[in-house]
Copies of this chain bind each other. A is one copy, B any other.
Amino acid sequence: MQFMFKKRDNIKEIEEGKYLSPKFDENGLIPVVTTDFQTGGILMHGYMNDEALKKTIETKKAHYWSRSRKKIWLKGQVSGFVQIVKEIRIDDDQDSVWLSVDIGNGASCHVGYRSCFYRSIPLGKIDDGKKIEMKFEEKEKKFDPEKVYKGQPNPTKI
């Protein structure tokens, strides 16, 4: 792919201009938030490198950079749950990306839930020495990860 991102050389242009000039961090990555086009809820938080962002724009299928596998990753390549991109936005200083995607009746989380954000944190004062107990907001998995990802390493790291 030969199209270019504009060089970042002027803060006013970055914030108020029309040209895409994303900022990749010291590892060459930009954080990406992916929301569900149907429900508006957040499905996942990931990262892209330059190539993944360009591929996503051109193919309208979400590509990420897998930090655990250290490679470009077409979301859904193993599970079949491809994310069809409906809209991409970038923020004021162009250092984070928002994808809105259509996943049909599928799922986005390798644990099996529709969204990776299936647990909520209680709010308010917590007693000294207490651990925080979360609540499951999704009760049923959309698929069985042991079948779908059979033989694949778990991306979660301690």
Q: Which of B31, B42, B93, B96 contacts A98 (CB 8 A)?
A: B42
Contact between chains at A131 and B3 (CB < 8 Å): yes
A89 sits at the interface (CB 8 A): yes
Q: Interface size on A (CB < 8 Å)?
A: 68
Knowing A11-B154, A19-B132, A134-B19, say if A92 contacts B118 (CB, 8 Å): yes
A68 shortest CB reach to chain B, Å: 10
Beyond A10-B158, A18-B135, A19-B133, list 12 extra A-B contacts (CB 8 Å): A3-B129, A6-B132, A8-B158, A11-B154, A11-B158, A18-B136, A40-B40, A57-B122, A87-B123, A89-B119, A91-B117, A98-B117
